[in-house]
A and B are shown apart, each in its own frame.
Chain A
Amino acid sequence: MIKKFFLVAVIFLFYTCSSSSDDSPEKKKEDSFDREAVLVNVADNIIIPALEDLSQKLVALKTNKDAFIATPDQTNLDALRSSWLSAYEVWQHVEMFNIGKAEEILYSFQMNIYPVSITDVEANIDSGSYDLTHVNNNDAVGFPAVDYLLYGVAADDAAILVKYEDVKYKNYLSDVVNQMDALTDEVINDWTTSYRDTFISSTSNTASSAYNKLVNDFIFYYEKGLRANKVGTPAGNFSANPLPDRVEAFYNNEVSKTLTLEALTAAENFFNGNAYNSSSTGESYVTHLKSLDNSALESLINTQFSGAREKINELENSFSNQINTDNTKMTQAYDALQLNVVSLKVDMLQAFNVSVDYVDADGD
């Protein structure tokens, strides 16, 4: 309400000012930009390569998981943890693309909902009977569940290894990892067999076109998945007190910064059209903005990405430690991330003449 009122006031001011100078009517440049070129670059050089890399990392995770289950010792646990982190880093390049099959099966809801519900995980393990795809298990699967299973089920590594003498824990770990791999295959297969062509040709300016949905997915991810989930929520920006146990990879507790920086890199690369696997650069929101003679906004957004990176770099590797020792640095990182929410969601979408397709939940 307050925001809307503010917006109305701003529009009113703008209107009042602009109507006084009617000798220089504003000429808006017509948007004849080739939107398909962006979709082709994004599909072929970003989304599909990132998914393929994720798939490879998950295959490695599966292999290490099988070895660990066969022989639950420290060596195998270390290898398994290492492959979990590698896959989790790549995941940061995939989560924002909630489109096509990923949207249909709520892929990200089955891969990275945190905080994990220990109650649900332990109940599933105990019963040995569960449907991991069921919506009630969204917070009992994926990377956060594996984080808990590899770092949080007991107080130290020796005790964790003891847990895996129990076949129920082996089974749950195995099922969760296999499920992550299967879901990822399902999403890739859809891209490579049919969805890519549907995607690249869906360029109209409508609420359901791939172009509009993609840009909305990107901004939604930046605002919610990156800014809020990784930084704002644990820093307490949406609650009475900080919530240090809400950080990503809480049980590992050393990589929340790594994952956040990776996610920021993914957002920057996507915005700039940088290929996932190489240093080449293609059509992107940057070229779209330039075609509209709006280089100023493009450079502002990139400057703000860099500013956010500087602030995040000042944080400890463990965000929960950071919150407990000096939460001001966390809120400063949040504030730096927030700048681009406005530039992307308001200024860039206005330049593209695209509507925002999501609203904040009404909270009741």
Chain B
Amino acid sequence: MKKVLIALTAFAGVCFTSCNSDDNDGGEIVINNPASYSFERDGVSTVNFGGQTTRIAMAEELVSALKDNTKTEEDLDGMFAHVEGESDFSEADLNASNKSIRSKTAASADFFSANTTDANAIKADFDGYIESQVADVFPNWAVTATAGNAGQLQEAGGGSIRYINAKGLELNQAFAKGLIGGLMVDQILNNYLSSSVLDAGDNRANNDGDVADKEGVSYTTMEHKWDEAYGYLYGAEDNAAVPVLGADSFLNKYLSRVEGDSDFAGIASTIFEAFKLGRAAIVAKDYDVRDKQVEIIRENISKVIGVRAAHYLQTGKTALGNDYAAAFHDLSEGFGFVYSLQFTRKPNTTEAYFSKTEVDAFVAQLMAGNGFWEVSSETLDAISDEIATEFGFTSAQAAD
């Protein structure tokens, strides 16, 4: 992976020139597109996304804690909706932080600022996963699960033990994979890359005039918003300027998985290059080029969610019948990615690839009756195919 990115960025490290006819001065804007995601002003880095790195770290701890049956609902709620100074996490830095995951879940400007009803319903879904994990799954930690009864089930051949609710759903997976959409994708695509955020207030004028976001920082507000989008994808990287992927359990990891499927190889560099060029365009005050990159990022990050949703429905389908625990694990991951579809963004529109209503209908099909214990291959194929078709690939391409 690393080698591929380096090779590609070597090609990209040339000056990108765009003829911009709209420009007032009628001149040519020269964008200096660097080889890595590193930008400086007067020798000082202008890149900052500490808040995103923090939230990814909080989410990692929460997702681990969801599999610790000694945790109380209060413990887990505290990690989800952290309050500055509370001892919710193992790391002091996280406890000291004023950031919270829950406040940024289903919280984008474009999708939810005027739709608090849906936002509340989505937050309630995540709260519900935590509540049910503690109330229904933890007490049955040592009980063998059966259709309609929560408990544990081991993957065939002495494999991993999966802890599932009465419908065969691993609530920790529903939470983790749902959060990829509800937090990372929504914040990137529908918040920080939105013109309503990038161009809010005097952002353009201030960016044109190189006015700092606030005292003591080297970046403009628009630059910072763009970097915050970047941070939700690359914020857990050791060196985020040159991402290697696989750095977290969320979007970063699953981008690397989709990149690893030869049917979609190249997507990682497409996304990285668009982030980098868009940021360089902001420095060059070329907002047309910036906005084109936004649409590339929207299309491709959305596709990551679509591919993984179809992928896990297909792999889960294959395992159903001979290895329920393995099947339920895949389907639970698929469930979370299906849930995440409502936070995707079709390029050049204000819509997700699948609306909340459509996603809720998928969820209802998956959870009908005894849920995964009795879901049919036909249902899984139908959902998988519908997703694949909408994104323009096939279930077979996503399956491997």
Contact = CB atoms under 8 A, between A and B. Distances in A.
A139 B161 CA distance: 12
A138 B322 contact: no
Nearest to A141: B158
A106 B154 contact: no
Interface of A: 1-2, 4-5, 104, 106, 108-109, 113-115, 117, 134-136, 138-139, 359, 362, 364
Contacts, number: 50
6 contacts: A1-B1, A1-B259, A4-B265, A106-B156, A106-B323, A135-B155
B174 to A, nearest CB: 15
Q: In the A-B complex, list the 6 residue pairs whose CB atoms are closest, starting with the nearest.
A: A139-B158, A113-B158, A109-B157, A136-B154, A1-B260, A138-B158
B324 interface: yes
Contacts of B260: 1, 4
A106 B158 contact: no
A21 B400 CA distance: 35
B328 to A, nearest CB: 11
Given A106-B322, A109-B157, A138-B158, A4 B262 contact: yes
Interface string B314-327: 00000000111100
Nearest to A359: B400
B157 A5 contact: no
A2 B265 CA distance: 12
Contacts of B144: 134, 136
B259 A138 contact: no
B77 to A, nearest CB: 25
Contacts of B1: 1-2, 5
A336 B376 CA distance: 45
A211 B184 CA distance: 46
A176 to B, nearest CB: 15
Contacts of A135: 153-156, 323-325
A136 B152 contact: yes
Contacts of A106: 156-157, 322-323
Contacts of B3: 2, 5
Interface string B156-170: 111101000000000
Contacts of A362: 257
A98 B217 CA distance: 64
Nearest to B268: A1
B343 to A, nearest CB: 21
B364 interface: no
A129 B324 CA distance: 22
B256 interface: yes
Nearest to A134: B144
B15 interface: no
A148 to B, nearest CB: 13
B361 interface: no
Contacts of B259: 1
A362 B144 CA distance: 25
B157 A138 contact: yes
Contacts of A117: 158
B4 interface: yes
Contacts of A1: 1, 256, 259-260
Nearest to B315: A362
Nearest to A109: B157
Contact of A136 (B4, B153, B249): B153
Contact of B156 (A104, A138, A364): A138
A364 B64 CA distance: 13
Nearest to B2: A2
A95 to B, nearest CB: 12
Contacts of A138: 154, 156-159
A136 B1 CA distance: 37
Interface string B75-108: 0000000000000000000000000000000000
Nearest to B173: A364
Interface string B256-271: 1101101001000000
A362 B319 CA distance: 14
Contacts of B156: 106, 109, 135, 138
Contacts of B157: 106, 108-109, 113, 138-139
